[in-house]
Structure 1
């Protein structure tokens, strides 16, 4: 069931404590599924854990989260080889593709080796909702801030660029994130950057921000831009609270 238009849900959240398990899917994941417009059957959720090295324990946890949410989880593994013959066909069969967090630099490198940079654009244009958390948020943008290279945050510039903006994640929970975004916007390394507190998601329809949503009350999204005089301005974007 394709979405009405190419859709991305880029978040700093999506996981909540489970009642009988360590992790459950939160309202942000459910919102991505709702945007896919699935009716009359269990939603198909593609899970991509490239950024964490396709760790088996993470895949097992996501399977349990999907079971309790009423989703069918279909992991795409790239280590040590793709687990399916036709990667693009496999992704096109999903309603939502959820990309997990970890190293965004490594994720992008591995994806390009397997042609996923071009595949994801076609899958997105076909109406599969692309979504994810942290590295799984930055990857859809042109650029963002990352600790992939070491403890000091740096810019990553080779995102897939499905949406033409920078991205900042974990804006409230990691004290170095906000200053890093401001510094990189000031120097021009990042253009306009959309940022999220933990628990907040950005919903893009096509290449434009359509809405901001949160699974945690009091959290927010932000847009950070450089003015003509070289100063940096940050504007708060109040999100809609998901239930």
Structure 2
């Protein structure tokens, strides 16, 4: 069952510690399923772990979390070769594509080498909900901030661009994220940038931001735009959005 319109859920969350497993899917991941509109059967969710090199041990932990959640769960691995003969056919059968975190720079390079950028765009247009955390959030935008190059955060500006904004993740938990976003927006390296505290997600229908949602109370989302400073130079302005708690 496809979503009624192209839908993206870009997050800084989606997991929580498990009771008998290391992790479980939290409210943001379940909200991605809700956005798909699936009913009457187990939701088909595929995990794409390219950003962390398709680590099989993590895939196994995701499988445990998916069993607890009641998902019809699968993985699209690209290392060392695609594990599906026809990745496009596999993705078009899904209700949700969930992209895990890691190196967004490596993710983008590998996806483009395999033509996954075009495949994911077609899936999005067909109503498959695209969702993910951290690198799995930034990838849908024009760019954002990343530690893919090393410990010092840098800009990445070659995202897939499905959404015509930049993206800032882990906005409240990594102290260098906010000032770098402001700097990059002020100097024009990034355009309008949509940011999430840990535990917050942003819902887009088409390219329109329609809602901020949260699995943790008290967290925020933010829109950062450029403005003229009092001295005539460049500055950045930040608008806080209050998310709807998914409780």
**Aligned pairs (5 A) from 1:8-47:** 8-47=8-47
- Alpha-carbon separation, structure 1, partners of 2:22 and 2:117: 32
- Secondary structure at the residue paired with 1:66? helix
Q: Are 2:238 and 1:234 equivalent residues in the alignment?
A: yes
- Secondary structure at the residue paired with 1:40? coil
- Secondary structure at the residue paired with 2:178? helix
**Aligned pairs (5 A) from 1:61-140:** 61-140=61-140
Stretches of structure 2 lacking an aligned partner (at least 5 in a row): none
- Secondary structure at the residue paired with 2:65? helix
- Alpha-carbon separation, structure 2, partners of 1:212 and 1:238: 7
**Aligned pairs (5 A) from 1:144-183:** 144-183=144-183
Q: 1:99-127 deviations in whole A, cap 9, x for unaligned?
A: 00000000000000000111111000000
TM-score w.r.t. structure 1 length?
A: 0.99
- Alpha-carbon separation, structure 2, partners of 1:168 and 1:190: 10
Equivalent in the alignment of 1:48: 48
Q: 1:4-52 deviations in whole A, cap 9, x for unaligned?
A: 1100000000000112111000000000000101111000101000000
Stretches of structure 1 lacking an aligned partner (at least 5 in a row): none
Equivalent in the alignment of 1:184: 184
Across the aligned residues of Structure 1 and Structure 2, the Cα RMSD in angstroms comes to: 0.7
Residue pair 2:46, 2:98 contacting (<8 A) in 1 also: yes
Q: 1:81-106 deviations in whole A, cap 9, x for unaligned?
A: 00011111100011000000000000
- Secondary structure at the residue paired with 2:89? helix
TM-score w.r.t. structure 2 length?
A: 0.97
- Secondary structure at the residue paired with 1:132? strand
